Chain A
Amino acid sequence: MKKQSKVARVNRWGYIFLIPFFLTYVIFQVIPLCSTIYNSLFENFRSGLKQIGPNFVGFANFAKLLGTIDFWNYFENTLLMWVGGFIPQILVSLLLAYWFSDPSLRLKFQQFFKTVIYMPNLIMASAFAMLFFALFADQGPVNSILVSMGILKQPFKFFASVTASRVLIMFMNFLMWFGNTTILLLAGMLGIDQELYEAAEVDGATSSQVFFRITLPILRPILLYVLVTSLIGGMQMYDVPQILTNGKGTPANSTLTVIMYLNQHLTSKNLGMGGALSVVMFAVTGVLSIVIFNLNKRKD
């Protein structure tokens, strides 16, 4: 009897500690989500200083958004730039985490390098983008170095080339996030029981066998976590291309991401179209996440 009440009391504390989370979640997630869906059904924008609407228009905003190829173009841009940044990011992070976690390598200055690779993540994305903008400007330092070394005859216009602009954005996202991913994977690798490695060594496994047969399979939940969070972050890619191209998604809208497109609608405070776009993004991200989770389950 006495024991039971103690359990109940402990439970009560659990609920109390959960209150802040649920409160913040409801205020900052659930309510905005519902109001976004609600707003997406209205024509509601500002023309100059004059407010137009809100007038109920049903699904007209969705029809307008999905009726043109534009949205899918920008979605493709986003996906492409995310994948291009994520693949090198996961490969480099895996390699670094493997090296850091392998005691037989006896790496020196581990703490120092862990700090250094995490550094780019501490810089604001906008500052990082401005730095790159200055570095790769037509008359910027990168061009003058390349020209003075004789590699280029005349300055290369990085921001006028579709490929160069996209690659720069991928590279910046890679640089900003690989440290973070390394730390996550490293935590996962350090959690693997050393006995497994010792047993493998006794059985004469090569290091690549150890990596692919022991490390990777045990790491799968963490990899999945990294993939899904990166996917959600990638779908919402905004700050780097926005600052790098001054919000224009130049050249020729090839770096315009979905969220930048959303931001363009907000110049005229177009809550209807903005809401519709957000709802579509919510659905797309949800579907992609479910697909990834299911792929993982089937392999199990």
Chain B
Amino acid sequence: MKKKVLSVLLSAAMAASILAGCGEAAAPAADAGSDAAEAEAPAADAEAPAADAEAPAAEAPAASGEAGKVLNIAAWNEEFKTRLTDHYPGYEVVDGTHGKIGDVTVNWLITPNENNAYQDRLDEILLGQESAAQDDKLDLFLVEADYALKYVDTDYAAAVESLGISLDETKDQYQYTKDIMTDSNGVLKGVSWQGCPGVMIYQRAIAKEVFGTDEPEEIQKLFADWGKFNESADKLKAKGYLTTASVADTWRVYQNNVSKPFVDGTTIQIDDNIKKWAEDSKDLYDRGCTTTANQWTDDWSKGFYPEGKVFCYFGPAWLIDFCMAADTEGSVAHDGGWAATEGPQGFFWGGTWICGCAGTDNGDLVADIMRKMTMDPDVMKDIVLKDNDFVNNRPVMEGLASDPEYHSAVLGGQNALKMFCAGADKIDMSNLTAYDQGLLGDYQTAMVDWMNGNFASYEDALDSFYKAAEVRYPELTH
């Protein structure tokens, strides 16, 4: 008897586990079916005339160009979500990853950049775009300068004009933001709401203590080129301050001033300025003026607070406003303790572009988001006033730069816009490649290992970089 009971139990358990396995696999399939309003798909196929009434309802939105019910947006952080929430009329927050515009649900697919994760996920979504159900299709995705080229020259990014936006509407945008998004046939594939000229952002209190002044013009004289930068670093060191939070901080300044791109055809090439970054940084690190912390870690961002004892960061407007903990009590930014100056060399960092995705069923909404967020002067001015971002609209920015009323609270009341405007005019992105994000990460990893004494020479570190880069991008050689 006992045996019988046991065997029944066992077979029940077995059946249950098999069914459980099926359940998981079957669920998404069922979801996809119901999404297309064809929950009874097999029946519909068999009885074509009877199902006719329902089938067109499912197909209609795509065919007639009516708006889909879900707007899917792929991004790598919360920045665009915050911008849309604060500045797009009619955007309502539902929960952490969902919002609503009218009766369209906004679905945020946010994946961090770290270790290529964002691009990996975006690639998978884009490659599956054609076969995805209507409401699962991606409608809008964001790219940044380091890998924009990878997506611009593909059919996955929809031409801006195909969404019903005329090129004339983009005339106030900075030319470089359009150049980078123009594919090899001269078609504009995306637009941006921000410009990203960078500046040197330093702590006023430390400047006063070490150099006796916190005036941007005076500080600029002390950091006007790399030689002076190094001299001043020693003075900061003498008083117990780090010049930068990490060697990675100056990376963009060197990298943007290269004379040739990272990759020529399929050959990796190292520009002299990139080598100079490694050598200067090692020297700075050996003298105890900086650290080798990774960017975005706690060891790096400790300098956002007075106890971090970090003199300066290098970054564009979005770093100052979005990243430097301005909302946290006790941070330097919260107390308006920063100031901005040009620093040793001009540079840019990042920038986010909005691309409409080919196959979107929300074309009108995508176009409207592009118009409102990147072309509407009122919205853009609002972004500057509320968030101190540098927006991609020349008249708005130049107007504010000469506006005596405008000042940045984080920068202690300074109006740094003139500096940013001058920087934006000089930005040249012609040396970017589609491989930059992966390559610069691998290069920095290898060089930091060298600075920490784990490689005997720059050449050893360079070999390690080549190894990592060629595994990441099998088509590259050196």
Q: Which residues of A does B touch, CB under 8 Å?
A: 13, 17, 20, 45-49, 52, 70, 134, 137-139, 157, 160, 162, 246-248, 250-254, 261, 264-265, 267-268, 270, 273
CB proximity of B123 to chain A, nearest CB, Å: 6
CB proximity of B450 to chain A, nearest CB, Å: 8
Residues 285-314 of B contacting A (Cβ, < 8 Å): 291-294, 297-299, 302
CB proximity of A254 to chain B, nearest CB, Å: 7
Q: Does A17 contact B454, Cβ atoms closer than 8 Å?
A: no
Q: Does B291 contact A138, Cβ atoms closer than 8 Å?
A: yes
CB proximity of B274 to chain A, nearest CB, Å: 19
Q: Does B471 contact A265, Cβ atoms closer than 8 Å?
A: yes
CB proximity of A156 to chain B, nearest CB, Å: 12
CB proximity of A133 to chain B, nearest CB, Å: 9
**One of B150, B293, B455 near A48 (C-beta < 8 A):** B150
Residue on A with the closest CB to B122? A49
Q: Does B474 contact A268, Cβ atoms closer than 8 Å?
A: yes
| Bound Cα distance from A247 to B317, whole angstroms | 30
B269 beta carbon closer than 8 Å to chain A: no
| Bound Cα distance from A95 to B472, whole angstroms | 45
The prevalent SS among residues of B at the interface is: helix
Residue on B with the closest CB to A50? B154
* Residue interface mask B442-478, A partner, CB < 8 A = 1: 0001001100111100000000100110011111000
Q: Which 3 A-B pairs have the closest CB atoms?
A: A252-B454, A160-B452, A251-B454
B156 beta carbon closer than 8 Å to chain A: yes
B10 beta carbon closer than 8 Å to chain A: yes
B14 beta carbon closer than 8 Å to chain A: yes
CB proximity of B476 to chain A, nearest CB, Å: 9
20 other contacts beyond A47-B474, A137-B299, with CB at 8 A cut-off? Answer: A17-B11, A17-B14, A45-B474, A47-B475, A48-B154, A49-B156, A138-B291, A160-B452, A246-B294, A251-B449, A251-B452, A252-B454, A252-B455, A252-B464, A264-B468, A264-B471, A267-B438, A267-B471, A268-B473, A270-B471
B120 beta carbon closer than 8 Å to chain A: yes
CB proximity of A9 to chain B, nearest CB, Å: 12
Q: Does A17 contact B472, Cβ atoms closer than 8 Å?
A: no
| Bound Cα distance from A13 to B7, whole angstroms | 9
Q: If A47-B473, A248-B445, A268-B474 touch, does A137 touch B297 (CB 8 Å cutoff)?
A: yes
Q: Does A268 contact B126, Cβ atoms closer than 8 Å?
A: no
Determine the chain B residues whose CB is within 8 A of the CB of A157 once the complex forms: 292, 452
Determine the chain A residues whose CB is within 8 A of the CB of B150 once the complex forms: 48-49
Q: Does A267 contact B116, Cβ atoms closer than 8 Å?
A: yes
CB proximity of A15 to chain B, nearest CB, Å: 13
| Bound Cα distance from A265 to B10, whole angstroms | 43
